[in-house]
Structure 1
Amino acid sequence: MPIETKKMSVAVIYGVGSIFAIAMIASLIVSILLRFTSLTESSLTYVVMIVSFLSLFIGGFISGGKGKKQGLFLGGSTGLLYLLVVFLFQYLGHDALFTIKQWIYYGCFVITAMMGGVLGVNMSSDSRTD
């Protein structure tokens, strides 16, 4: 495997790993809030949505920063790999396909990860020319 491909693959894996790490931490916090307060799932819908978009953006940002170039591709790859993992979990684990609403959400998630990847590349210090 060429060095450049390996570097990009590692960047995508770091991005997807960070997305799932943020998702696990957010899930723990939300479940604690639901258990020990009078909040309901419906009252946290928008909070969960914001955290989801933020985690995809951060994952794309990390993959772009780690890869240091082609942020659109790295962020998109990160978002698509995340989409694939969640789709396989839902299909194989719950025997259900995505609904149209879910496809729209995950399309927006991929676009958000792409934006994070572009910003990650632009914020990385090695890609700047001074």
Structure 2
Amino acid sequence: MNTLSRVFGLRNASPVASGLYWSGIWLSIGATVLSIMLMGSSLSESNMLPWVIGVHSCAALAGGFVSAKRSGRRGWYFGMANGLLYTLLLTTISFLATNANWSMIVPILFIITALAGAFGGMLGVNASSGQR
């Protein structure tokens, strides 16, 4: 992996960008699991909202963990920034791709992902191997 980053010049210096990458990875895993659940069970699309919010909060938690671990300081700050940027990016993409309406769930999603990202950041900064 180290050789590939030297060859292609790929180096992510920003902790928040690194957390956003990991949030996207966890979002894709969660969306795949939800698709399998939707296909293989009697769960309908109208009952998916709690599951979708759970996937987004897990993705924000994982991204907040990674961003705070990379920064090594101010875990709640980097985690909350990751959660807010993740949701901002998500709502922008959903609006541009599907012309999604602004509803009451969007501010609730902002709050939930910000809190989940902050909690992940608190866990991540304590898991870092940096000097204290």
Q: Please classify the TM superposition score into its range, dividing by the shorter chain length.
A: 0.7 to 0.9
The structure that is helix-richer by fraction is 1
TM-fit CA distance, 1:27: 1.0
TM-score between both structures, scaled by the size of structure 1:
0.78
Q: 2:16 aligns with which of 6, 12, 20?
A: 12
2:129 aligns to what?
A: 125
AA paired with 1:78? N
Q: CA RMSD in A?
A: 2.1
Q: Which residue pairs with 2:54 in the alignment? A: 50
- Aligned pair count reads 121
Q: Percent identity?
A: 30
SS in 2 for 1:126: coil
1:1-130 matches, cutoff 5 A: 7=13, 9=14, 11-128=15-132
Range 24-33 or range 40-49, more displaced: 40-49
Q: TM-score, normalised by structure 2?
A: 0.77
Report the more deviating stretch, 99-108 or 88-97: 88-97
Given that 1:79 and 1:110 are in contact with CA atoms closer than 8 Å, whether structure 2 keeps it comes out as yes
Unmatched runs of 5 consecutive residues or more in structure 1: 1-5
Give the counterpart letter for 1:115 in structure 2.
F
Structure 2 regions of 5+ residues with no counterpart?
1-11
**Structure 1 CA distance, aligned partners of 2:66 and 2:124?**
6
Deviation at 1:44, TM superposition (A): 4.4
